[in-house]
Amino acid sequence: MNAIEETKRINDEYNFFNEICEVKPSGKGKLSGYYVSVKDCIVVKDVESRSGSAILSGYKPVFDATVVKMIKEEGGTIIGKTAQDEFGFGSFSVNVGKGMKIPLNPIDKERSCGGSSGGAAGFTKKAPFKHIAIAESTGGSIVCPASFCGVYGLCPTYGLVSRYGLMDYASSLDKIGVMAKRIDEIALGLSVIAGHDEKDATSATAKKEDYGLQLSKGVKGMKIGIIKESLGKGTDREISKKVMEKIKVLEEKGVTIKEVPLPLNAKYSLAAYYLIAMCEASTNLAKYCGMRYGKHAELKGGFDEYFSSVRSANFGDEVKRRIIMGTFARMTGFRDAYYIKALKARTMMIEEYRKAFMEFDALISPTMPVIAPKFSEIKKMSPLQNYMMDILGVGPNLAGMPHISCPAGEKEGMPIGIMVTGNQFEEGKIIRIAKALENGQ
Mean of the per-residue pLDDT values for the chain?
Answer: 95
Distance CA 65, CA 426 (A): 24
Question: Of the residues 37, 93, 112, 116, which is catalytic?
Answer: 116
SS3 248: helix
d(CA 15, CA 64) in angstroms, rounded, equals 24
Cis bond upstream, residue 116 (ω within 30): yes
> 39 an active-site residue?
yes
Does residue 409 sit within a domain?
no
Q: How far is CA 148 from the centre of its chain?
A: 13
Q: Which of 65-74, 87-96, 134-143, 324-333 has the lowest mean pLDDT?
A: 324-333
pLDDT in tens, 9-51: 999 999 999 999 999 999 999 999 999 999 999 999 999 999 9
For residue 70, being part of any structural domain is answered with: yes
- Contact residues for 29 (Cβ-Cβ < 8 A; gap 6+): 73, 74, 75, 192
Q: What's the rounded mean pLDDT across residues 352-361?
A: 98
Q: 128 lies in a domain?
A: yes
405 is catalytic: no
**What's the rounded mean pLDDT across residues 397-413?**
97
Pair 81, 39: CB distance under 8 Å: yes
Determine, yes or no, domain membership for 336.
no
**CA 253 → CA 335, 365, 366, 422, 437, distances in Å?**
49, 18, 20, 19, 10
Catalytic residue chosen out of the listed positions 49, 93, 117, 141: 141
Query: In terms of residue numbers, what domain contains 36?
Result: 3-217
Q: How far is CA 254 from CA 62, 213, 223, in A?
A: 51, 20, 9
Is it the case that residue 441 has pLDDT exceeding 70? no
How many percent of the chain have pLDDT more than 70? 99
Structural domain contains residue 439: no
The model's pTM: 0.96
Looking up residue 47, the CATH number of its domain turns out to be 3.90.1300.10
Residue 327 lies inside a defined structural domain of this protein: no
**What's the rounded mean pLDDT across residues 66-83?**
98
The count of structural domains within the chain is 1
Q: 340 lies in a domain?
A: no
Which pLDDT value is given to residue 125?
A: 98
Q: Where are the beta strands (DSSP E) in 341-435?
A: 362-366, 403-411, 414-422
Q: Which residues of 25-58 are buried (b: 16+ CB within 10 A; e: fewer)?
A: beeeebbeebbbbbbbbbbbbebbbbbbbbbbee
> Going by C-beta distance under 8 Å and a sequence separation of 6 or more, which residues neighbour residue 254?
218, 219, 220, 221, 222
Mean pLDDT of 361-384: 96
Considering the chain, what percentage of its residues have pLDDT values greater than 90?
A: 91
Q: Would 356 be classed as within a structural domain?
A: no
pLDDT at residue 439 in the model: 77
